[in-house]
Amino acid sequence: QVQLVESGGGSVQTGGSLRLSCAASGDTVSRYCVTWFRQLPEKEREGVASISLSGTTTDYADSVKGRFTISRHNAINTIYLQMNGLKPEDTAMYYCAARRCSAFRTGEIRRTDYNYWGQGTQVTVSS
């Protein structure tokens, strides 16, 4: 079992940048596929970016390609989401989620079986 804690959210203006961190504990994070999700009230949760066990393969939502970068540093049990060129539509609660996996699959950001979740960190982008 793994515990996840997000940090790094905040309020920025359009075009600004934020770096979110997801600190994992309780298990070897290198055994987990990890995805960043985001959600606004009354809207469906959206997968934003996913990363494979080793970090060599990633998957992004079309809406963030070219602006967001997911990475992981397994030695310190941390996953990052670098967000550049932020837009008001990026405003949401961002969650780090993990699942035990043996293979990174096409469409990872659309999977519904992520079973370990952090409490979220708020990102607000103003115009």
Averaged over 25-54, what is the pLDDT?
92
Please check the confidence at residue 1 and state whether its pLDDT lies above 90: no
| pLDDT exceeds 90 at position 105 | no
pLDDT, average across residues 32-60:
93
User: Tens of pLDDT along 47-88?
Assistant: 999 999 888 999 999 999 999 999 999 888 999 999 999 999
Whole-number pLDDT of residue 26: 92
Residue 114 DSSP label: -
What distance in Å separates the CA atoms of residue 17 and residue 64, rounded to the nearest whole number? 13
Mean pLDDT score of the chain, rounded to an integer?
Answer: 94
DSSP strand pairing (78-83 vs 92-100): unpaired
| Contact assessment for residue 59 and residue 49, using Cβ atoms and an 8 Å cutoff | yes
